[in-house]
């Protein structure tokens, strides 16, 4: 039976109070589930977003508005990749609401996969962000 995950909706980014993270809310569906389930993905600003921004864009300058757009675009790409990693790890297999925390602390072992993705996709992500932002 086909039990692939399908993302039906994504909202965000939201700035979490009392945490330095952006979060995205995903609605996922599988054929065997009667209703979609929610997944909140948190992207840590200093440990994930800033580290990967430096890796992908280097010391990119720009106006505050351009920096905001860069953060929004890049955090969404990171959240999407974290969803793929969580699915591969089996974290999304059960029919329940899930939180995919930052890949720090207990989930730090997953960060190298995110880092490898950033290295592989560096040229593509840089070109797409440059096109959207106009750097």
Q: How many residues does the chain have?
A: 135
Contacts of 114 (CB under 8 A, 6+ apart): 48, 52, 78, 81, 82, 85, 103
pLDDT per position as a tens digit, 34-76: 889 999 999 999 999 999 999 888 876 778 888 889 999 999 9
pLDDT per position as a tens digit, 78-97: 999 999 999 999 998 888 88
pLDDT per position as a tens digit, 17-38: 999 999 999 999 988 888 899 9
Instruction: Report the sign of the C-alpha dihedral through residues 131, 128, 52, 27, in that order.
Output: positive
Q: Which of 116, 124, 110 is nearest to 57 (CA)?
A: 124
Dist CA 96 CA 37 (whole Å): 6
Quick check: 135 and 58 in contact, CB under 8 A? no
Dist CA 13 CA 120 (whole Å): 24
CA distances from 105 to 47, 82, 86, 109, 111 (A): 11, 15, 16, 9, 10
Q: Which two tokens stand for residue 65?
A: 């508005």
């Amino acid at each position: 039976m086909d039990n692939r995950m399908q993302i039906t909706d994504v909202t965000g980014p939201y700035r979490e109070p009392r945490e330095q993270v952006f979060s995205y809310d995903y609605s996922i569906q599988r054929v065997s589930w009667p209703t979609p389930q929610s997944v909140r993905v948190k992207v840590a600003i200093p440990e994930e977003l800033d580290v990967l921004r430096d890796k992908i864009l280097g010391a990119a300058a720009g106006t505050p508005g351009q920096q905001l757009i860069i953060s929004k675009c890049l955090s969404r790409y990171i959240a999407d990749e974290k969803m793929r990693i969580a699915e591969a790890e089996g974290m999304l297999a059960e029919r329940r609401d899930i939180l995919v925390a930052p890949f720090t602390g207990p989930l730090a072992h997953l960060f190298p996969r995110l880092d490898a993705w950033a290295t592989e996709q560096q040229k593509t992500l840089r070109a797409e962000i440059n096109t959207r932002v106009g750097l």
